[in-house]
Amino acid sequence: MATRDRERWDERHAAAGETVPAPPDALRGREDLLPAAGCALDVACGRGAVSVWLAGRGLHVDAVDASAVAIAHGSTLAGRNGAAERVRWWRHDLDAGLPAACAGPYDVVVCQRFRDPALYAQLADRLRPGGLLVVTVLSEVGARPGPWRAAAGELASAFAALEVLVQAEGDGEASLVARRPVSGPGSAPAARR
């Protein structure tokens, strides 16, 4: 990530208002799919709304973002919500892949409004068998094509080895909730990088 891009994200996060814990959008109404305990990875966690919400649901969370400002917000939010002990914050540039320290396996992996197709294999790989993947990206479906937007069917194709539970595409967004099979195709851990 270029220094200027990180500065822009820092500025955006600094200018944003108060955050409250919130479920990932793709999971709204299907919160029953979440395990009541275990560990979660929140990729490009921003100001921590989802990370702290997951912690409030009983999960131990690794939260990763390149922006120090976002992480500072998240850490404050976790403290205010009694979740400081259940979230570990990692300042990390995802252009280099997921942090080696976040090897998992995780019961839940969330990646919301951050799209890097080069990370898709790693997101699936970090799930334990039976683990839940929750992804939302900008999409070309219902919007003009753009460099940050997923083509139609991109998530379904990238995560074809997982069992898809919820899928939506339209109005410029695509989302997917999927489970890593306990046995069969997609259940074996992929080779670590």
Ligand X SMILES: C[S@@+](CC[C@H](N)C(=O)[O-])C[C@H]1O[C@@H](n2cnc3c(N)ncnc32)[C@H](O)[C@@H]1O
In this chain, which stretch among 73-81, 108-116, 141-149, 173-181 interacts with ligand X, using CB under 6 A?
Answer: 108-116
Is 74:63 a contact under the CB 8 Å cutoff?
Answer: yes
Q: Closest Cα to residue 65, out of 57, 56, 77? A: 77
**Is 94 near ligand X (CB under 6 A)?**
yes
**Is 141 near ligand X (CB under 6 A)?**
no
**Is 186 near ligand X (CB under 6 A)?**
no
Residue 49 three-state SS: helix
**Is 120 near ligand X (CB under 6 A)?**
no
Kindly identify the residues of this chain, within the stretch 27-66, that bind ligand X according to CB under 6 A: 44-46, 49, 65-66
Is 62:111 a contact under the CB 8 Å cutoff?
Answer: no
**Is 135 near ligand X (CB under 6 A)?**
no
Q: Closest Cα to residue 58, out of 21, 102, 25? A: 21
What is the binding site for ligand X (CB under 6 A)?
1, 9, 44-46, 49, 65-67, 70, 93-95, 112-114
